[in-house]
Amino acid sequence: MATGASDRGGSRRCRAWRALPAVLAWLLVLLAWLGPAHGQPGKQPSAADRETARTLMDEGANRLQAKDFAGAIDAFRAADQLVGMTTTGLWLARAQIALGKLLEARDTLVRVQGLPAAASESPQLAAARRQAAELALEVADRIPSIQVKVGGVPQGIAAQVTVDGEPLPPAAAALPRKLDPGTHSVVVSAPGFAPATRQVTLSDRENRIIEIPLAPAAEPEPPMTRTGPAPEPKPTPAGRPAPAAGLPAKPSAPPPAVRFGPAEPEQPATEPSGISAVAWAGFGVGAAGLIVGAVAGIVAVSKTAEVRDHCPDNHCPEEQREAWDSSLAVAHVSTAGFVVGGLGAALGVVGLMGFGGEPEPKEPAAGTAMVVQPVLEPGVVGVNGRI
C-alpha cells in the first residue's frame, strides 16, 4: 500500500509540473481580477502590490522550470508577502518541496489552510485551499526523523544533544526530531565525558535511531615531582672536620698569600725561531749575482757574435779591436756575477744549518720578597710569614 500511495503521489506531481504554465496563466488572471471585494480580510493589496506580484509570479515560474529552486522560492515568497493569497502560498510551498525544504513547505501549507475564506471566495481560491491541504498531508508523511540515544552516562548526569548547531531542550533530546532529508551533524556532550560527533544522512520517510556512547574525559597529567634520593653532601677536604650545624662552612681553599717586596722577575718570552739573517743575506746576494751573470752573459754572447767574423783566430784589425775588448769585458762581468751568485747561495745554506743564531737571553737576577699568609682556624686567628 505504501508503494501504491507513492506512485499516486508521483503521478500527481508529474501532472502538476505539466500543467504549470496553464495554472500560472490562470493565476495571473486571478490576480488581475482580485480587488477589495474579492481579497482576503484585513488590509487589501494595492494596485502596485498586485502588479508587482504578477511580475514576481511570472519570474518564479520561469525559475521553477529552469530548476532554479532557490530563485523560485525568493520570487514566490515576495509575491505571497504582497498579496497573501492561497495560490501564492501554494506555489511557494511547491518550490520549497522541490528544493528539499520539507519543514518550511509544511509550515507554508499549514498557514495557507489557515487563511480565512471570504464570503465571495472564487472557485479557484477554494480549489487552491483544497490542494494545499492534500499537499500538507503528503509532505508530513515524507519528513524524516532522528532519535538520539546516549550511552555510557550514568543516571543523574544530563547529556546535551546538539543537531546542526542547535541545542535541544533536555525533555526533547531523547525523542524523535523531524529534519529535512540530507546530511546532519549531531554532537553529544556531558560533564566529565569527551564529546562525540556523528554525521547522519536521512532520506524521505526515514526514521533513524542512532546510539552515541560517551567515554570519560582523560584526566590531566599531574605535575612532575622529584621522587629520587636527596643529593649527597659534598665531601670535605681530608684532615678537616665537617662544619657544625648552624655555622658557616669553612672555605675549601686557604686565602691567598699577601706578598711584600719586589715582585718576582718574569721569564722573558722567547720568540719562535725562524730563518736567520745570515741565510737571508746569503740567498739575496746569490740571487743578485745570478741575475747579473745571466744578463751580462747574454750581452757578451751577442757582442762576440758580431765581431767574430772580423777576427779570425782571435786576431782583430785595429778598427774591430775596441768591439772585441768590449765583448771580453762583458764576458768577465758575467763570470764574476755567477761567482758571486754561487758564494751567496753557499752562505744561505750555511745560515740554514744553524750558524750565526741569536744569543740566549740572560736570566735576571733574583730579588728578595716577604710572604704573609693569614690563618683562619676554629678558635685560632693569626698570620704566618716568611722571607
SS3 234: coil
| pLDDT value at 112 more than 80 | yes
CB neighbours (10 Å) of residue 112? Answer: 25
Q: Which residues contact 317 (CB under 8 A, 6 or more apart)?
A: 310, 311
E strand spans, the chain = 145-151, 160-163, 166-167, 177-178, 182-189, 193-194, 196-202, 207-213, 215-216, 258-260, 370-377, 380-386
Q: Are 117 and 86 in contact (CB under 8 A)?
A: no
SS3 301: helix
Q: Which residues contact 78 (CB under 8 A, 6 or more apart)?
A: 56
SS3 41: coil
Please state, in angstroms and rounded to a whole number, the distance separating the CA atoms of residues 103 and 111.
13
SS3 157: coil
Tell me the C-alpha to C-alpha distance, in Å, between residue 58 and each of 64, 124, 208.
10, 18, 40
Cell reading at 263? 715582585
Please state, in angstroms and rounded to a whole number, the distance separating the CA atoms of residues 339 and 320.
29
| pLDDT value at 202 more than 80 | yes
Instruction: State mean pLDDT over 140-152.
Output: 95
Q: What is the predicted pLDDT for the residue at 33?
A: 42
**In the chain, % of residues over pLDDT 70:** 64
Question: Which candidate, 290, 5, 286, places its Cα nearest to that of 138?
Answer: 5
Summarize pLDDT for 66-110 with one digit per residue, the tens. Answer: 999 999 999 999 999 999 999 999 999 999 999 999 999 999 999
Q: What is the predicted pLDDT for the residue at 236?
A: 59
Rg (CA), the chain: 61
| pLDDT value at 13 more than 70 | no
Identity of the amino acid at 332: H
Question: Which candidate, 126, 118, 149, places its Cα nearest to that of 35?
Answer: 118
The rounded mean pLDDT for the chain is 77
Q: What is the predicted pLDDT for the residue at 342?
A: 81
Cell reading at 121? 471566495
Q: What is the predicted pLDDT for the residue at 3?
A: 44
In sequence order, the β-bridge partners of residue 196 are: 188
CB neighbours (10 Å) of residue 96? Answer: 26
Cell reading at 279? 741565510
Question: Which candidate, 234, 227, 266, 269, places its Cα nearest to that of 249?
Answer: 234
Identity of the amino acid at 285: V
pTM for this prediction: 0.49
Q: What is the predicted pLDDT for the residue at 208?
A: 95
Binned at pLDDT 50, 70 and 90, residue 292 comes out as: confident
Summarize pLDDT for 225-270 with one digit per residue, the tens. Answer: 666 666 666 665 555 555 555 555 555 555 555 555 555 555 555 5
